[in-house]
Chains A and B, each alone.
Chain A
Amino acid sequence: MARRRAAFYWMTIPAVVLFFLFHTFPALQGVYYSFTNWNGFGDHYDFIGFKNYYYLFQDSNVWNAYGFTFKFAVVATIFINLISLLIALGLNASIKARNFFRAVYFLPNILSVLIVGYIFNYLFSNVFPIWGAHLGSDTLAGNILGNEKFAWLGVSFVAVWQGIAFNTILYLSGLQTIPTDIYEASNLDGASKWQEFWKITFPMIAPFFTINMVLAMKNSLMVFDLIVALTNGGPGRATQSISHLIYTGGFEGGEFAYQSANSVIYFIVIALISIIQIRFLQRRETDM
């Protein structure tokens, strides 16, 4: 028995060592640096306590990045889930060429976010305005990504376009766990399609709804590649996400320690949101 346990301990060693060295240790270092004034390249730095954190709360760029990221994440999460649930329901119905359509709807998920962003960047500047002009709207006839007020909608649009793929597949696998005889029974009882959805389908896929909401929210809150490819944070700082601010400030702006403090706050925010979401949505699951 003791020898068996020993083998199990040995099995954990490669992963534990690598994980501690390249994940936990740098994360702790990040927390440590957040209490210093290091610019990232010099040899000398001082311990300055909570000063970085104090200044973060007065930094309009930080507030701006959090504002954009939240606005974007909430809108993207809602639309991704709404649309992918609709598509999954459609793909689960008795339709022709179902496997072909499943393959097409999953396609965006295998493409690089950066390149998808570049393609849409072109579409926003050269193709969509042609349609916008036809519709006779001045806003739509311009490049929406260059518009300080609406650029975030353009970024959200692309995030939804690509994010739908993965969530659709998750919802589809959820729908397939529902036994069909439940529907037969509800048909006999004369339930309408609408009632069927709210009373059977939706409660049955509740755990998938939870996973999808949490994943979509978390991914949107961490958006980076898409920002680089579409707007690079602009126009002005209208679409600068939190990760983009940490990257540019930390590597190019000499704000290594300051942005480390920002990362710590960012971590706390994401962890809190994920926990609240899971708690809230899981309570819904059990109530049904």
Chain B
Amino acid sequence: MKVRGKTNWTVTIFIALGTLFILFPLYMAITISLKNQQDMLTSVFGLPTHWRFENFTEAIRMTNFFRAFGNSAFVTLATAVLTLLTNSLVAYAIARNMNHKFFKGLYFYFISAMFIPFPIIMLPIVKLTSAMGMTNLVGLTILHTVYGLAFNVFVYVGYIRSIPTALEEAARVDGASTWGTFWRIIFPLMMPINATVGILICLSTYNDFLLPLVIISDQSMYTLPLVQYIFQGQFNTEFNLAFASYLLAMLPMILVYVFAQKWIINGVTQGAVK
């Protein structure tokens, strides 16, 4: 990306001012989480006079933060792994057989699910998962993997079709099976799109609220968004504790983002272009 000509200062200033709209709510969240009750009343916008880090320890204790974080981390990572394995595989089979009726039909079968709103499945899925004993973190992982399939197959198939078939044919001449070709040649070639799909599925799984809300009833399996929901209901007057809890829940993603933002943004951009 080369910058054309000299810096356009008018646009730079507008863009810089625009970021205030984004940063202000986050500034408020951070300062409130560090204030005591007294500060909350006397200075709404200012920095805390006494930095109350106890809000965080208190929030960790009250929400059982580490357990919820562990649950969220497990579901997020497991969903990412399962998604990369199953979705890329089916997308490969579809992308290489688009001239075949069965695979083309399968493609449209999956894609059409993008337009099915979740509520139509929501009520029956609760019955189904409880009947199957799947109202737990493993069940949550499988459901997240399934509900990402429509969009992921769409993105994957587009990408795989842009990979030339010459390498696969060469491998086949050398006697590699279709499976061997996939794992040793195609899957490594798909790394850019795997990264994109991985990032997007991690974001949506980590932040998802509705699916855990309807599936999980055992408190020890609550994910982070679910904990905020319960916490908010019980302690809605102690804002500094609530905000400390919100920040704790967002912090892991924010940290990952700070270190990998360039990669994340490029990944998302690539997934969109394909």
Contacts and interface: CB of A to CB of B under 8 A. Distances in A.
Interface of A: 3-5, 7-9, 11-12, 14-16, 18-19, 22-23, 25-27, 29-31, 33, 40, 87, 90-91, 93-99, 101-116, 118-120, 122-123, 126-127, 130, 161, 166, 169-170, 172-173, 176-177, 180, 208, 211, 218, 221-222, 224-225, 228-229, 242-243, 246-247, 250-251, 256, 259-260, 262-264, 266-267, 270-271, 274
9 contacts: A18-B145, A112-B228, A115-B228, A120-B25, A126-B44, A172-B269, A180-B4, A222-B117, A242-B119
Contacts of B262: 99, 103
B12 A259 contact: no
A112 B209 contact: yes
Contacts of B164: none
A24 B222 CA distance: 27
Contact of B120 (A16, A130, A176, A264): A264
Nearest to B4: A94
B86 A90 contact: no
Contacts of B254: 110-111
A101 B214 contact: no
B249 interface: yes
Contacts of B18: 87, 90, 105
A31 to B, nearest CB: 8
Contact of B15 (A87, A122, A173): A87
A29 B146 contact: no
Given A110-B257, A177-B273, A11 B92 contact: yes
Contact of A225 (B123, B126, B210): B210
Interface of B is mostly: helix
Interface string B194-229: 000000000100110110001000000000110011
B272 interface: yes
A142 to B, nearest CB: 16
Contacts of B116: 23, 27, 267, 270-271
A31 B116 CA distance: 12
A16 B106 contact: yes
A222 B118 contact: yes
B90 interface: yes
Given A30-B124, A96-B12, A267-B116, 15 more contacts: A11-B178, A15-B87, A23-B116, A112-B206, A112-B228, A122-B32, A169-B265, A173-B273, A176-B269, A224-B209, A225-B209, A228-B229, A250-B122, A259-B123, A264-B120
A19 B149 contact: yes
Interface in B217-266: 224-225, 228-229, 232, 239, 242-243, 246, 249-250, 253-254, 257, 261-262, 264-265
A226 to B, nearest CB: 10
B104 interface: no
A87 B125 CA distance: 40
Contacts of A169: 265, 268-269, 272
B120 A266 contact: yes
